[in-house]
Amino acid sequence: MAEPANYSYRGARAMVILHERHMRSCLASWKQAKALAITLPETEDADYESLETLLAHILRAARNYMVWMCKHLDLPDPEIKPAPELDRIATEADAYLEHLLERWGLPLAEVEEERFYRPEYPSNWQVLYCIDAMLEHAVMHPIRHQFQLEELMAQQG
C-alpha cells in the first residue's frame, strides 16, 4: 500500500502506517512458525487451536477493529471482506492482507482529531475505548502475537 498522505489527524495516519508495518511483520513471523511446525501451547482458547486459527484470529481482529471504528464514527462500511476460511487461510493470507490493508488506509483520513478522543464506546469484548485507543490496540495486537510466535520459535526452533 502506498503511504497514506492527507489525514486530518496525523496521529491516525501514524497508526494506519504502523498497523500495516506490524501486520506484515506478524504474517512473516507466522510463516516462519508454520515452516518450523511450531506448536502452540495448550489452552481452551479456540483462537490457539492451531497456527491457522491464530492467523485467522489476527486477520479477523484487524478487520473487526476498522469495522467497529467506522460504525462508531458513523462512517460507511469499510467493505473489508471476511478473512479466508481455515482450510484456505495459509494460501490466501498474502492476498487477503493486501486487501485488508488497502481498505484499512481509507476510512479515517477525513475524520477530525477531536472525534478520536470522545466519546468512548464499548468494544466487542465490552471494554470502553475511544477511537484513538482502539487504533492503538489494533497496532499492538499483531505485535503481541508476533512476540508470542517469536518466543515459541526460540523455544522450539
pLDDT value at 115 more than 90: yes
pLDDT value at 2 more than 60: no
What does the DSSP assignment read for 90-144?
HHHHHHHHHHHHHHHTSTTTT--GGGGTSS-EE-TTS-EE-HHHHHHHHHHHHHH
Q: Where are the domains of the chain?
A: 10-156
* Cα–Cα distance measured from residue 14 to residue 5, given in angstroms and rounded to the nearest whole number: 10
pLDDT value at 6 more than 70: yes
In the predicted model, what is the mean pLDDT of residues 12-35? 97
Peptide bond into 119 cis (omega under 30): yes
Nearest to 110 by CA among 5, 7, 1, 3: 7
Tell me yes or no: is domain 10-156 CATH 1.20.120. Answer: yes
Nearest to 62 by CA among 6, 144, 153, 148: 144
